Structure 1
Amino acid sequence: MEKVRMRPSPIPAVTCYNFDAENTDEISFKRGSKVFVKNKNTGDKDYYLIEVDGKEGLAPVSFLQADGGEAPPTVKKDEISGTTKLGGGTFSDVFEVTWKKEKYAFKKYKEQLDFSKALQEAKLINSLDHKNIVKVYGICEKPVALLLELCEGKHLADLWKDDNDTFNPPLRIILIWARQIAEGLWYMHNRDLPICHADIKPQNCMLKEIPCTKHYSTEDSDKCSQCGNQRLSRLSIKLTDFGLSKVWENRASNTVAKKGYNYLLKTF
C-alpha cells in the first residue's frame, strides 16, 4: 500500500473490540486500548491509520470509538443532596439533585454497568460543545452515575401523554424542534472522527425549559403570560443519552443525511 501522509494533529480514540492483524500493514489491539488516528485517507474508506503504544498500522474504522480525552470532574455521592426522581429507562434512572448549590440531573446507571462504560460516555459528551447537546459536569463512581445539565421540561415524548389529547402544535413549531435536533446531529457528524448517536428518539430529546402546552395559539414573548412557562417555539432542545454512540463512517448514508439536514436548516 502506498505510504500515506501523517496528520499534524492525531485524533484521540479508543478501541471497542479486540482486533488481530492479518496483514503486515495492519496492527493488533485489545478492546479499550487508547489510540490515535493519524490519517483517515488511507485509500480504503474502511480503514484508518492509527498509533498504538508508539506503533502505527491500519485498523478497521468500525472498531474505533471517539474518545473525548478529558473526563469531567469526579463527584462524590455525599456531595449531592435533594434527589428527586425525574424518570428512568432500561439502563439508568434520572434524578434532580443539588450539587454546589446548583440544580443538575443525576443519571444513575443500573448496577450491572461497568464504570469504564460510564467513563467512556462521560468523555464523549465532554468532548462535545453545542447548544443542542446536553452538557456533562461530573462523574460518580459509587454509585456509577453522570452529573448532567438539568432539563426541567423533561423530554419531547412527555408532550404527548395520554392525558393531553388536546395537544396539537402547528407544523412550524415541530419544524423548529426538528431544526435544533438536526443542528446537534450535524455538529456530531461533521467532526474529524464523526459520531453517530445511534438512539435518537423523543425520549432522548430533552426540553431545557418547562413548556406551555395550553396557550400556544398566539406567541408574543419567550414566556406565556398566563402560565409563565416557555413558549413552544422558544424551547431549547438538547440531545442526551450517548450510551450507544459510536464512530460513523457510512459515506452513502452520510450523503443522504446531509441532504436532509440542508433542507431543515434552510427552512427557517
Structure 2
Amino acid sequence: MSDALLDDLRDESEELDRLVAGLKPDGWATPTPAPRWTVAHQIAHLAWTDDAALLAVTDADGFTAHVDEALEAPGTFVDDGAEAGAAAPPHELLTRWRDGRERLLAALRAAPAGARFPWYGPPMSAASMATARLMETWAHGQDVADALGAVRPPTARLRHVAWIGVRARDYAYAVRGLKPPAEPFRVELTAPDGSDVWAYGPEDAPQRITGPALDFCLLVTQRAHRDDVAVRADGPDADRWLDIAQAFAGPAGPGRAAKGAS
C-alpha cells in the first residue's frame, strides 16, 4: 500500500483535530447536522470505528465476536457506540481518538502485502480500509465544521472520497432494493485547485456526471442536498444516481435538507 495514502489519512485526521482540540466543554456539546449528535458524538464515532478497524486488522477472531455483538442490536449499535463515547470528558475522548487512530495507522503500515481484513460487509484490503477511514473522517469532519461555523479549504485528499463515491454507485441502488444500471457512467470532477480533472469510467460512456470534486464529495457523503451543489448529470440513469448516491456503507440515509427548506 502506498505510504502517501496513509499520510493523507493522517493529515485528514489532524485537520479535524485542529478544529476540536481547543474547544471548551460547551463547544463539544454543540449540535451538529446529524440528528441528536453533538461534536462529541462525531469524534466518539470516529474513535469507535477506528477501534473496530484496528481490531479487524490485528485480531480477526476478536472482530468476528464484535460483529456478533453488533448484530444483537443492528439498528442502534452505531448510535450506542457514539453515545457511550460522547459521555466521556472531552479530554479523555480526544486522547482516545488520537491514540486509536495512531495505532490503526501503525497497523495498516505494517500490514502484509495482499492482506484482507474482515469488515461489516465484504473483507477489505489495507488500502480500502485506509480509504474508507479517510472518507469517514472527512465526512464527519464536515459535520463538525458546519456545527462550528468553520470553513475547511478543500484539498487533493478529496480524490479518495470521490473514488469511493464512484465505486459505490451500484451499492447505492442495492441498499434501496433497486437494480443498478448495466452500463458504467463517465464521471469528470474538477480538482479543488482547478488544475486537473479527475476522471472515472469510459470516456465514451453516453451518460456522465460533471462538476467540482468538493461538491460531488459532499453529495455522495450526503453532507449537502443535490439542489445545493454544482454537480450535473447527462442521462436519465446518471440523473437518478445523483438522487440516491452514497459513499458510506449501511442503510440509505435521509441526507441533508436543501438550504432554505422549511
The two structures have a TM-score, normalised by structure 1, of 0.24
The two structures have a TM-score, normalised by structure 2, of 0.25
Q: Which of the pair is proportionally richer in strand? A: 1
Q: Which of the pair is proportionally richer in helix? A: 2
Structure with more relative contact order (C-alpha pairs < 8 Å, separation 6 or more): 2
